[in-house]
Amino acid sequence: MIASALWDEGTNGVAEVGDELLAGFESRDGADAAVRAHGGAVEAVDPTTWAQQETASVAIGGTEVTLEVGTAFGHGGHPTTALVLDTLATEAQRSPLMTVLDVGCGTGVLSLAAAVRGATAVVGVDIDPAAVAIAERNIGRNDLDPGLISFATTAIADIAERAARFDLVVANILLAEIRPLAPSIVACVGDRLILSGSLVEQRDELIRLFPTLAVVGESQADGWLCLILST
Ligand SMILES: C[S@@+](CC[C@H](N)C(=O)[O-])C[C@H]1O[C@@H](n2cnc3c(N)ncnc32)[C@H](O)[C@@H]1O
């Protein structure tokens, strides 16, 4: 629960080391605010060291996926990510996963989960080059076919312009960030779109961004919403 609150408060990484919970912040102000809210102490560290030491693991079905998290978002435990991971599981049961596009891949957690769930090809994109580098390293950390997954900083608009369609598109991105991306995201959806990263009270606005798609499923956790939309 504290980890979830820390993500909402702007940490760029959380790690359990022994009995300690470590949280990284880019600014001293952010770290001080977290200590005021949760207790603990602030220590200045080399960000490279911090990035390398922070790893997480997520159970995907019977497979343990190991992630370097570092400065990227996506340790798997945030409610928005967990909602998509659960939805991916039910979608894979409904019909085999085929091609998947992960918009805002962060550590690549959702891309890796899609590959574990049997996707035939996965592309993950993020505007943060550091996240893409971490996601690429995370392929090698796991026993997955590297030819199955690719990560890039390619803009979603460029993918849409190439008329590339994916059977499933997943996007765990805040509403404010998804607004300008919505037309390009829709252009990439071949069949289904899983959306997370918006609050439950933002549901109507989120749905209005995708007028050509129909809501076919939804779930929520800790005030966060996850929608399944279909063409
Ligand atoms: C909430 S994190 C999700 C990370 C991971 N997919 C997960 O579910 O845990 C959102 C990610 O979207 C990325 N992002 C934000 N705006 C973006 C954009 N316009 N295009 C691509 N990625 C974007 C951020 O850099 C961040 O890594």
Three-state secondary structure call for residue 162: coil
H-type helices in 72-128, by residue range?
Answer: 79-94, 109-116
- Nearest atom of ligand 1 to the alpha carbon of 177: 16
C-alpha 194/C-alpha 168 separation (Å) is 8
Instruction: Count the Cβ atoms, other than its own, within 10 Å of residue 203.
Output: 16
Query: Across residues 33-43, what is the average pLDDT?
Result: 88
How far does the centroid of ligand 1 lie from the alpha carbon of residue 173, in Å?
A: 5
The domain locations on the chain are: 2-53, 55-230
CA–CA separation, 13 and 53 (whole Å) = 10
- The pTM (predicted TM-score) of the whole model is 0.82
Q: For atom 7 of ligand 1, which residue has the closest CA?
A: 74
Q: Considering only CA atoms, which of 65, 32, 28 is closest in space to residue 47?
A: 28
- Residue of minimum CA distance from atom 8 in ligand 1: 81
The pLDDT tens digits of the residues spanning 137-185 come to 999 999 899 999 999 999 999 999 999 999 999 999 999 999 999 999 9
Amino acid at 20: E
Q: What is the pLDDT of residues 55-87, one digit of tens each?
A: 888 999 999 999 988 777 878 889 999 999 999
Looking up tokens 């995708």, which residue turns up?
Answer: 210
**What integer best gives the mean pLDDT of the chain?**
90
- Torsion (CA) 189, 133, 176, 183 in degrees, nearest 10: -30
Give nearest CA residue, ligand 1 atom 14: 104
Instruction: List the CATH code of the domain at 55-230.
Output: 3.40.50.150
Between 47 and 35, the more confident residue is 35
